[in-house]
Structure 1
Amino acid sequence: MHTDELRWFVVLAETEHVTDAAAELGISQPTLSRALARLENDVGVALFDRVNRRLRLNAYGRVLLEHARRSISEIHTATEKIAELRDPDTGTVRLAFLHSQAGWYVPDLLRRFRSEAPRVRFELFQGAAHEIVERLTDGASDLAITSPRPPGFRWRGLYVERLCLAVPREHRFAHRARIRLADAGAEPFVALAPDFGLRQLTDELCAEAGIAPPVVFEAMEIPTMEGLVAAGFGVAVVPVPRTERAEPGPAYVPLTEGSAKRQIGLTWNPHREMPPAAARLVGFIMHNIHEFE
């Protein structure tokens, strides 16, 4: 049952006259008559009563007319929505990002982009790196700002975060200018859960340093880690905080290891078509990349 045939049926049901309906639709009478015959064959009943060479919509036809009008309206609405999604000026960008990017990077990025494209809408997801990869894989998100680089995905590096050791302010390490991670091998660690990218990077750094510190708590967000460190529960490997952060917390001691860093990047699934609005955001980020560092 084609959309055109449903539309033709609606016009015919409203006029109850083949000649008038064919003229309104701009098709021939035989074409309209054949379409009606196919439609009646599909539904298994006659939709019109033939009275004195005229058509009269019957009870079956009235049922189909109600649903045909609804179907045509739904298809029209869907077509309009698809057109909006494919419009780089009015489409929707489904963006996923790490918890740690929610405080400054993503809000600043979206604020600047919205000044250029105010009608573009966003569906945002904040989560861990493994959750973000799942969303890119199944198509729930178009783009992601994450770390580390997921294998098999397109990637554009945005900036590098240096890592440091967060310690309680009264800790013996608190006033050091720098520290080797190996020096903290006997300290209790607060870390993210094993699935998180930063936890995996921390484990790699500890292995390189030849230490296996006890993890006393596994958090779901970096601010939770920092709060527990400030409360004296242990130490933690975290990104160097931005200078404008003024809230009280732990002391941050730079790590000497050159590998103590993580690359934050923009990534997407190369096997899925990118909506135009999302492609517009990618272009905006790449054009202004140094302004967001």
Structure 2
Amino acid sequence: MSLKKYEAFVRTVELGSLTRAAEAMGSTQSRISHVLSTLEEEYGFVLLRRNRSGIRLTEAGAMVLPKMQEILQKDRELTELIGDIRSADAGTVRLGAFTSVAVHWLPGMIRTFQSAHPKAELKMFNGDYHDMEQWLREGEVDLGFVTLPAPEGMRTIPLTQDPLVAIMPKNHRLAQLEEIPIQELGEDPFISLLQSSAHDIHRALDNAGVRPNIKFTTKDDYAILAMVEQGLGISIVPQLLIQGRTQNLAVRPLKPRASRTIALAIPEGKPLPVVEAFAQTAVAWVKEQSGK
């Protein structure tokens, strides 16, 4: 299939003469005439009748004309799309995020990103740390929010340090303290995320030699907040998680301090420009928020 041949035929019909078609294509009348003759030989039927008064479509020519016009239009659209993808103006970003980031960061990041890249599409996958590592390794997502250290084979972009804090009912005995020695968290009923969802928290407890009295385990971050509010136990959570949810909770920093490093992870290789563009937006957005 030769798009140039199609263009020669369509231009000749639309402009009404070989001469004008040649001028529009930067060619010569004889060259356009030769191209049309070659096309007719390939098809085995006549497309145009040529005489002194001009050109006239044959019945067969009238039948193929709209199809050729459609093909040329699709080619123009494809060329435009390729240019958009190369310039990060289009394409799909498959993004993995855990709950606290999905709730408190992504809406703002996505709004900022889409204002600059309105043709881009985002698909969000919400899961825990284990899900994120698996999706990144298997290519299910183009980039994902993780906590360091990240799985091997990933390029990581650190974003922020998110403190871990103790949460408890407001009438809890420990709520009187300005900071909570982590060793004090070993006796009370403890509400825990699954190990795969909270390795930063379990690492902080292990480093302090604390074995919490785990009474409830859940995969849902916000279920922990609700259970603590109801007096069912205490917990350790990332500070980002409780943003806007402290009305019915006592929140205290840990002693010694502990935190998680939130980062973006991108599989090694050459991602689409639109993926890199989202990563740059995320970095700039977090930096702007931390400066407020």
TM-score, normalising length: structure 2: 0.70
Matched position secondary structure for 1:263: strand
Matched with 1:187 is 189
Q: 1:271 to 1:37 in 2, by over 3 A?
A: farther
Q: 1:146 to 1:95 in 2, by over 3 A?
A: farther
Matched position secondary structure for 1:255: strand
Matched with 2:163 is 162
Does the 8 Å contact 1:146/1:264 carry over to 2? Answer: yes
Determine the C-alpha separation between the residues in 2 that align with 1:243 and 1:213. Answer: 22
Q: 1:269 to 1:31 in 2, by over 3 A?
A: farther
Determine the C-alpha separation between the residues in 1 that align with 2:73 and 2:140. Answer: 27
1:130-178, Cα deviation, whole Å (9 max, x unpaired): 555537964854x544424343222221211121232333444443431
Q: 1:270 to 1:26 in 2, by over 3 A?
A: same
Determine the C-alpha separation between the residues in 1 that align with 2:140 and 2:182. Answer: 42
Q: Work out which of the residue numbers 117, 129, 151 in structure 2 matches 1:120.
A: 117
Task: Report matched runs for 1:45-194 at 5 Å.
Answer: 45-46=44-45, 48=47, 56-87=56-87, 94=93, 96=95, 97-106=97-106, 118-121=115-118, 123-124=121-122, 125=124, 127-128=126-127, 129=129, 134=135, 138=139, 141=142, 144-148=144-148, 149-176=150-177, 177-180=179-182, 183-184=185-186, 187-192=189-194
Where is the helix percentage greater, Structure 1 or Structure 2?
2
Q: Quote the offset at 1:201 in angstroms.
A: 2.8
Matched letter for residue 200 of structure 2: L
Determine the C-alpha separation between the residues in 2 that align with 1:287 and 1:71. Answer: 42
Unaligned runs of 5+ in 2: none
Q: Work out which of the residue numbers 260, 263, 269 in structure 1 matches 2:261.
A: 263
Q: 1:281 to 1:256 in 2, by over 3 A?
A: same
Task: Report matched runs for 1:182-221 at 5 Å.
Answer: 183-184=185-186, 187-192=189-194, 195-196=196-197, 199-208=198-207, 209=209, 211=211, 214=214, 216-220=216-220
Q: 1:87 to 1:179 in 2, by over 3 A?
A: same
Does the 8 Å contact 1:190/1:225 carry over to 2? Answer: yes
TM-score, normalising length: structure 1: 0.70
Unaligned runs of 5+ in 1: none
Determine the C-alpha separation between the residues in 2 that align with 1:253 and 1:137. Answer: 39
- Identity level (%): 20
Q: 1:140 to 1:265 in 2, by over 3 A?
A: closer
